[in-house]
């Protein structure tokens, strides 16, 4: 597509529930990234995919968070047993390659609210 | 680890005037990239300008320019002839230029500066 698409735009859930956030990157972009932006903060790195594999998942806060990209295109961020502290905007970005010079294109994010 | 600091949580400017947003960073690397991103209420991060550390010349994109001081580890953004559409959160970000062993795929962001443009 023309840009990075993220769904849902907003998600409200109850503590303890499971949520999935979807990212559809720009066609042909092999690198995909997830960032989390808490209120009043800049985005923080969660995970980076090169193709189908997670090349770096060091930013995932704990084992309740998991992400997949099975066909090297669409990615899903999965959060189990959600907690109120998980409330944030989850941003997805993609780039043609993952080298420093490559510019990331961001989606509009998914705002997650855990009640 | 690299850190990025934006010391101005909020700034305001009159329409048509010039404003400068500050950013400092800390790194032990010699080669890297610096970015300014704009985030309007729509939440989408939009690249404003990019600077390559090994280039001494300051980057310019239309009304946006940077003052890159490598020794001082400073990277400020100047917006000239401010427009109402410039109102947004502005984030400074750092990215390593190095491949294996370096996190050249990872952006490190500051906390942002909220820019208000007054008509």
Tell me whether residues A98 and B104 touch, CB distance under 8 A.
yes
Q: By C-alpha distance, which of B31, B16, B48, B60 is closest to B113?
A: B48
Q: What is the pLDDT of residues A71-115, one digit of tens each?
A: 989 999 999 999 999 999 999 999 987 666 678 999 999 999 999
A45: chain B residues, CB-CB within 8 Å: 106-108
Tell me whether residues A35 and B107 touch, CB distance under 8 A.
yes
Q: Is the pLDDT of residue A31 over 60?
A: yes
B45: CB partners within 8 A, 6+ apart: A43, A91, A93, A104, A106, B37, B38, B39, B91
A32: CB partners within 8 A, 6+ apart: A23, A25, A48, A49, A69, A75, A92, A93, A94
Q: What is the pLDDT of residues A32-60, one digit of tens each?
A: 999 999 999 999 999 999 989 888 999 99
Other residues' Cβ atoms within 10 Å of the Cβ of residue B21: 23
Q: What are phi and psi of B25, to 5 degrees?
A: -145, 165
* DSSP conformation class of A96: S
HSE-up (13 A, CA, CB side) for residue A108 = 10
Chain B's closest residue to A95, CA to CA, is B105
* DSSP conformation class of B21: E
Chain A's closest residue to B98, CA to CA, is A100
Chain B's closest residue to A94, CA to CA, is B105
């Amino acid at each position: 597509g023309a840009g990075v698409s993220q769904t849902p735009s907003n998600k409200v859930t109850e503590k303890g529930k499971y949520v999935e956030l979807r990212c559809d990157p720009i066609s042909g972009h092999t690198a995909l990234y997830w960032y989390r932006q808490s209120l009043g903060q800049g985005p923080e790195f969660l995970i980076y995919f090169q193709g189908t594999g997670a090349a770096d998942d060091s930013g995932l806060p704990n084992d309740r968070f998991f992400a997949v990209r099975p066909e090297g295109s669409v990615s899903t961020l999965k959060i189990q047993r959600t907690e109120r502290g998980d409330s944030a905007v989850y941003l997805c970005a993609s780039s043609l390659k993952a080298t420093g010079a490559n510019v990331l294109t961001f989606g509009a994010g998914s705002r997650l609210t855990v009640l | 680890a690299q850190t990025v600091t934006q010391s101005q949580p909020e700034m305001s400017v009159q329409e048509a005037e010039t404003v400068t947003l500050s950013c400092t960073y800390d790194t032990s690397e010699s080669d890297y990239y610096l970015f300014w991103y704009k985030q309007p209420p729509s939440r989408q991060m939009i690249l404003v300008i990019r600077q390559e550390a090994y280039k001494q010349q300051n980057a310019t994109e239309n009304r946006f320019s940077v003052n890159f001081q490598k020794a001082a580890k400073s990277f400020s953004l100047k917006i000239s002839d401010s427009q109402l559409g410039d109102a947004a959160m502005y984030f400074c970000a750092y990215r390593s230029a190095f491949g294996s062993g370096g996190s050249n795929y990872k952006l490190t962001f500051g906390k942002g500066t909220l820019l208000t443009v007054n008509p």
